[in-house]
Amino acid sequence: MLDPTKSIEFGLLLPPDYQWLDAAGPVDYINQHNQTLLKLVGFPDAIVKKAPVINWHYISWLGDLKPIRSTSGPMQTPSTTFKDCPSLDYLLVPGPDPNLELPAETIDFIKTQFVGLKALLTVCTGSLLMAQTGLLDGVEAATNKFALKNLIERGAFEKFKKVKWAIDKRFVVDGKIWTAAGITAGLDLGAEFARVHFDAELVEMIKGLSEFEPKPAQPDPWAKLMAGVAVPK
């Protein structure tokens, strides 16, 4: 469990046309445990004291301050640049087009931050995007199964072969790599993050406030999407 007296620096990488729920789901769920928010909504002081302060940093995939469009919802304005971004404790990456190519500067930023990160979290095709950094090489990871199947069937899987893709789990935690499968699995990843890192009483209260019962990593009802599909080695 994290020390609630210490603030958390949490980054959200914003690639173009990312799936809005990939980001909004886990960000909002994790932020429900933010001491700053709990004070605003009038939680008891005894609970508020168990919650850390979470500072969010919104980062464009190009490292500038130009607004980024997601699949829906409002334009997201970055709050910091690669140059000015503080050292992060956690970085969350939502899913864009899996064929999006990361610029070298972006890969350098992510790899530099990764050294000090407690965890890198991805949702949906965010793990396919992060595979380009090499940080997922040899790591068990989840991703959007529909996208994974499509890449395999189109013969476009070669550059993703170094990752151990889990085809029957909603999320995977392998070391400090936390990955969720398709879109809504990001909420389950956010809930698992909360369960592991925050006070148990606080976590239960937020589940009730959200009226949300998180799903476990297994069984994964969407494993059927990969039926009959062999992941190339």
Angstrom distance (rounded) from CA 56 to CA 54: 6
| 100, 147 contact by CB (below 8 A) | no
pLDDT in tens, 27-42: 999 999 999 999 888 8
Instruction: Give the max Cα distance, the chain.
Output: 56
**Overall pTM > 0.85:** yes
Percent of the chain with pLDDT strictly greater than 90: 91
- Residue 195, token pair as written in the block: 């369960």
Mean pLDDT score, 124-130 = 98
Distant-in-sequence, close-in-space partners of 101: CB < 8 Å, separation ≥ 6: 132
- Residue 9, token pair as written in the block: 């620096």
- Does pLDDT of 114 surpass 90? yes
Q: What pairs with residue 172 in β-bridges? A: 179
73: exposed, middle or buried (C-beta count within 10 Å: 0-12, 13-18, 19+)?
exposed
- Does pLDDT of 134 surpass 90? yes
- Residue 199, token pair as written in the block: 């006070």
Whether omega before 219 lies within 30 degrees of 0, making that bond cis, reads yes
The pLDDT, as a whole number, for residue 160 is 95
Percent of the chain with pLDDT strictly greater than 70: 100
∠ CA 45-51-53 to the nearest 5 degrees? 110
The pLDDT, as a whole number, for residue 22 is 98
Task: Write the single-letter amino acid at 18.
Answer: Y
Q: What pairs with residue 179 in β-bridges? A: 122, 172
Phi, psi dihedral angles at 156 (to 5 degrees): -110, 25
| 206, 32 contact by CB (below 8 A) | yes
Mean pLDDT score, 209-229 = 94
pLDDT band at 10 (very low <50, low <70, confident <90, very high): very high
The pLDDT, as a whole number, for residue 232 is 87
Task: Write the single-letter amino acid at 205.
Answer: M
Q: Which helix (H) or strand (E) holds 126?
A: helix 126-130
The pLDDT, as a whole number, for residue 2 is 81
pLDDT in tens, 158-209: 999 999 999 999 999 999 999 999 999 999 999 999 999 999 999 999 999 9
pLDDT in tens, 61-105: 999 999 999 999 889 999 999 999 999 999 999 999 999 999 999
Angstrom distance (rounded) from CA 130 to CA 179: 10
